[in-house]
């Protein structure tokens, strides 16, 4: 029903549309247009914009309003440098704490990911693989930061990453990660994760170049 949409739900809808390219970097998001598009009142729209600002997806300025944040190559590099550090830390803490139950869950997620044939479904599956990979660490604040960093760059990867993009390589990297975690080989798992994130960095930077061209 129009007007009943919560700010959190609106933020997810907006995030999905931003990732899908409905609004390009730099595009202004007008509250009245968003309210009409999503059948919501202005208050939850305003709150949703603040949520996305906190995630680093939007900028909000007094005279310009809300607009989609554009990232430079240097900023993307910094985000991935932070991801390598923080996700590596989470993995190091998590590896000794994984058990048969958590590994079964990860293998199940990976099995579904390998047969996913939609672009957004594949990216969601990849996200759902990495979060439970780190969750045993119990570092919720660090994980929240990692999720925020990932959200800032996913929109650049969405158009270049498809279920067929590096499918064999992604499968091998994820399964190698699972094998290293099962063996409690923290050093090997960290190396695989670093290489995996750097490959994603290359895809995102390539997309940024395409956008600029």
- Six-digit token string for 72: 């430079």
pTM of the model: 0.81
CA neighbor of 197 nearest in space, from 137, 126, 128 = 126
Note the pLDDT tens digit of each residue in 61-81.
Answer: 888 889 998 889 999 999 999
Note the pLDDT tens digit of each residue in 165-190.
Answer: 566 788 899 999 999 999 999 999 99
More confident residue, 56 or 92: 92
Q: Report percent pLDDT > 70 for the chain.
A: 90
Low-confidence winner among 1-5, 64-68, 161-165 (lowest mean pLDDT): 1-5
pLDDT at 203 over 90: no
pLDDT at 3 over 50: no
Give the CATH class of 7-68. mainly alpha
Domain locations in the chain as residue ranges: 7-68, 73-212
Query: Could you tell me which CATH number the domain at 73-212 has?
Result: 1.20.120.530
CA distances from 43 to 49, 81, 154, 179 (A): 10, 36, 27, 48
pLDDT for 23: 85
pLDDT for 1: 36
């Amino acid at each position: 029903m129009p007007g009943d949409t919560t700010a959190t739900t609106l933020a997810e809808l907006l995030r999905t549309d931003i990732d899908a390219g409905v609004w390009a970097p730099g595009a202004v998001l007008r509250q009245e247009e968003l309210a009409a598009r999503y059948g919501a009142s202005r208050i939850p729209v305003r709150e949703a914009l603040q949520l996305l600002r906190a995630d680093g997806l939007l900028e909000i300025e007094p005279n310009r309003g809300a607009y989609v944040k554009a990232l430079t190559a240097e900023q993307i590099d910094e985000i991935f440098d932070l991801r390598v550090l923080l996700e590596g830390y989470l993995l190091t803490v998590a590896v000794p704490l994984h058990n048969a139950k958590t590994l079964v869950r990860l293998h199940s997620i990976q099995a579904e990911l390998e047969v996913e044939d939609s672009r957004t479904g594949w990216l969601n599956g990849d996200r759902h693989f990495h979060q439970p990979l780190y969750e045993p660490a119990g570092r919720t604040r660090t994980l929240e930061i990692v999720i925020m960093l990932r959200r800032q760059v996913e929109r650049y990867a969405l158009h270049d990453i498809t279920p067929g993009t590096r499918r064999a390589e992604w499968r091998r990297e994820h399964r190698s990660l699972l094998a290293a975690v099962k063996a409690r080989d923290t050093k090997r798992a960290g190396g695989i994760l670093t290489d995996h994130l750097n490959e994603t960095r290359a895809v995102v930077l390539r997309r940024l170049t395409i956008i600029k061209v």
